[in-house]
Structure 1
């Protein structure tokens, strides 16, 4: 049996995703040259074997990376669950009509993926993979519009061009952490968030707000963090939009599940690592799926979403 045949299914999927460019280049190389004769054929065979060996090594490395992430502690739903996001009518309508769904992940460095070891391990890419598994007949695109160091003032400046003009069905807006770290005025930040949510809704999109992360950097500023959390909750209630309590989820990892910060946060004390992004994406995806409801897309959505560990 080949090496790939002996791998767990999830490892093979991750491995192939990482090695697709290499495999594509092999196909192109083979198609560009005529079949050689004699010694040239032997040389070509040797070259092919060398490329194949390199590809297998990449598969092994990718599979090991996936295994390392998945072998950590399970990704469990916080005690008491997370607050329902509402119905997400635009997403549900597109799925029901078998039309393409566009999701924009809007935010700062934790949306961009700072701290992840590869692009496929960022939360937007993890989320896209989960939603495509849940709705295999759907055309789902998740656009990453994260930019490190930003908060509401900078995000508002690019809201139209990078978010609204994409005509998304759902905008997942992550913000607040940099506002806390930069000591931005909470009242002004709240006004910008409410204005931004209103503009997104007017463009015909569902909205989910994602609050600051729970990490050593934010724990050091409890008063500012508490104000930001209250402010974002208030905006979500006023504008009737979805809300994902990332702060409470990460706090549960640390205090409820007794996980060290180093288990889900990198050495800078702020950004999540691969496991943290994977679990965050898994729980966020579970909530989106529950909010959308059961929709037939060739196969039925599972009746109960189980978030045992990031996939």
Structure 2
């Protein structure tokens, strides 16, 4: 499934630090320095003069409950035509680094709440990006027990809400094997390297009908 970016459309990127990537601390880079900016650059290059506006509202450290809490101001009030969401890895990470547990049921409830607001309140298309983990330590392999059900939830919600799905987890783990190790894709297993961000951006742009650059 692809999304249609009409002329003068507004595209909203939402998520955590993987989407933020400096946009909150660097006022000259409102789209950050990661996949969101790279994807916008790819679309603009393919469709010059289209007047498409890209907005980034990612906030580092957010879990899905945080996203829900700021959804009115940072999503609905933007009135986007396309809403792209990448959230979930912090809900897993906090379990292992600070003992804060977000149950699969709570994760789905919060995620469903934001998607329902988009469906009922906006005439917007959805892009859901799977949360992902590219393990760099033996300990991180154990995180899969917590993260994998969240990935399945996102896949199920994409089907239910007729959203385009970016299957990032498998894509980035496969890319890590091709690149010679996880550290080439996500240095700490969670935050993408420039290569990891580029792969996400290319996959995102492909969902918008932009051909992947030839390597």
Cα distance in 1, alignment partners of residues 102 and 214 from structure 2: 37
Structure 2 residue 180 is matched with structure 1 residue 259? yes
Cα distance in 1, alignment partners of residues 143 and 159 from structure 2: 25
Output aligned runs, 1:6-25, within 5 Å. Answer: none
Structure 2 residue 53 is matched with structure 1 residue 147? no
Larger radius of gyration: 1
Match of 1:138 in 2: 50
What do residues 23-46 of structure 1 show as CA deviations (whole Å, max 9, x unaligned)? xxxxxxxxxxxxxxxxxxxxxxxx
> Shift in Å at residue 259 of structure 1?
2.7
Is the CA contact 2:43–2:205 (under 8 Å) kept in the aligned structure 1? yes
Match of 2:156 in 1: 234
Is the CA contact 1:244–1:284 (under 8 Å) kept in the aligned structure 2? yes
Structure 2 residue 121 is matched with structure 1 residue 215? no
> Shift in Å at residue 108 of structure 1?
0.2
Cα distance in 1, alignment partners of residues 175 and 66 from structure 2: 30
Match of 2:200 in 1: 280
Is the CA contact 1:101–1:169 (under 8 Å) kept in the aligned structure 2? yes
What TM-score do you get using the length of structure 1 for normalisation? 0.60
1:215 aligns to what SS in structure 2? Answer: coil
Is the CA contact 2:38–2:198 (under 8 Å) kept in the aligned structure 1? yes
Match of 1:308 in 2: 214
> Shift in Å at residue 236 of structure 1?
1.1
> Shift in Å at residue 271 of structure 1?
0.6
Cα distance in 2, alignment partners of residues 109 and 258 from structure 1: 23
> Shift in Å at residue 137 of structure 1?
2.5
Is the CA contact 1:214–1:248 (under 8 Å) kept in the aligned structure 2? no
Output aligned runs, 1:56-205, within 5 Å. Answer: 85-86=1-2, 88=3, 91=5, 95=6, 98=7, 100-113=8-21, 119=29, 121-182=33-94, 183-202=101-120, 203-205=122-124
Is the CA contact 1:105–1:124 (under 8 Å) kept in the aligned structure 2? yes
Cα distance in 2, alignment partners of residues 162 and 306 from structure 1: 30
> Shift in Å at residue 258 of structure 1?
4.8
> Shift in Å at residue 146 of structure 1?
0.6
Q: Which runs of 5 or more structure 2 residues have no equivalent in the other structure?
A: 95-100
Is the CA contact 1:211–1:232 (under 8 Å) kept in the aligned structure 2? yes
> Shift in Å at residue 220 of structure 1?
3.2
What do residues 245-275 of structure 1 show as CA deviations (whole Å, max 9, x unaligned)? 11011111123x2531221222x33211212
What do residues 275-301 of structure 1 show as CA deviations (whole Å, max 9, x unaligned)? 2111210121112216xxxxxxxxxxx
Greater fraction helix: 1
Is the CA contact 2:9–2:53 (under 8 Å) kept in the aligned structure 1? yes
* Cα RMSD (Å): 1.9
1:146 aligns to what SS in structure 2? Answer: coil
What TM-score do you get using the length of structure 2 for normalisation? 0.84
Match of 2:97 in 1: none
Match of 1:225 in 2: 147
Cα distance in 2, alignment partners of residues 283 and 232 from structure 1: 17
Match of 1:23 in 2: none
Is the CA contact 1:111–1:122 (under 8 Å) kept in the aligned structure 2? yes
